[in-house]
Amino acid sequence: MSSGRYMAYSPSPSTGPHSPHLSGIRTAATAIVEQEKYLAELLAERNKIGPFMPVLPHSYRLLNQEILRVTTLLGNASVLDQVGFEHGRPLITSGLFPNGAAADLNGWTSAFQPERLGMIRSPSGHGWLGPQGGSSGIIAKKTIRVDIPVEKYPNYNFVGRLLGPRGNSLKRVEASTGCRVLIRGRGSIKDPSREDMMRGKPGYEHLNDPLHILVDAELPVEIIDSRLMQARDILEELLKPVDESEDLLKKQQLRELALLNGT
């Protein structure tokens, strides 16, 4: 899915009529870009401190909370207009607006609710990652494969649906589960000629296989299996073809793309 470009022409107050609508669109688009950059920084920081989670449990928990907040916010770009944008301010936590009302993110809320992700607040107040004293400090590394039903639905754009605008849909799965998600197999490279050229070369053996997804995780042994299963469940939901007239995710992706393009 192409991300397009921002509008090249922006009339100044002295050269053209002021349009609050266009100004609002540009402001929202700029806010999205800033949030995307912020999310990338958060993910990079979490990767760095991941191995130290047993000795920095509170830092890791707070970082995960902030990642979940940002990914929830990016789940529906119109939220930026509804509640305002301020870098680092907790506008949304666990699918709630600051006034306590539930945030309906056009289908994303149900997919990324903390309860579904295994980040349930316990009565004892241990927070999102569960009781901190229960960690053995052992980090495990595992990979699972999720097949994409291209043979059953040969004309369906699974890759575009999985990626979303600028890959944001897949980034949200990664941020919400702590797993790395890779699209592999035939059709995983956008340029068919380049895919043909790379097929058979070291590191590209996967191009001989049908289109599929690999989910990698490097997490504490106590949670790695549950996180992998959470990622698999979300991906399998995304891989269910939906009639275009009822596809809320696609509509949300198109709205997000329009804001990113400044149109």
Per-residue pLDDT of the chain (263 residues; tens, 9 = 90+): 444 433 333 444 444 455 555 555 556 677 777 888 888 888 888 777 766 666 677 787 888 888 888 877 776 443 333 333 333 333 333 333 333 333 333 333 333 443 343 333 333 333 334 444 456 778 999 999 999 999 999 999 899 889 888 888 888 899 889 999 999 999 999 899 999 999 989 999 999 999 999 999 999 999 999 999 999 999 999 999 888 778 888 888 888 888 888 76
Per-residue confidence (pLDDT) for residue 176, from 0 to 100? 85
Per-residue confidence (pLDDT) for residue 58, from 0 to 100? 79
Per-residue confidence (pLDDT) for residue 18, from 0 to 100? 52
Residue extents of the structural domains in the chain: 20-261
Per-residue confidence (pLDDT) for residue 141, from 0 to 100? 95
Per-residue confidence (pLDDT) for residue 40, from 0 to 100? 83
Q: String of b and e for 183-206 (b: at least 16 CB within 10 Å)?
A: bbbbbbbeeeeeeeeeeeeeeeeb
DSSP state at residue 149: -
Question: How far apart, in whole angstroms, are the C-alpha atoms of residue 73 and residue 85?
Answer: 10
Cα 208 to Cα 145, 205, 213, distances in angstroms: 15, 6, 14
Cα 33 to Cα 9, 87, 213, 259, distances in angstroms: 18, 12, 27, 10
pTM of the model: 0.51
- The class of domain 20-261 in CATH terms is alpha beta
Per-residue confidence (pLDDT) for residue 207, from 0 to 100? 94
Contacts of 232 (CB under 8 A, 6+ apart): 144, 146, 215
Q: Extract the tokens encoding 253.
A: 């992706």
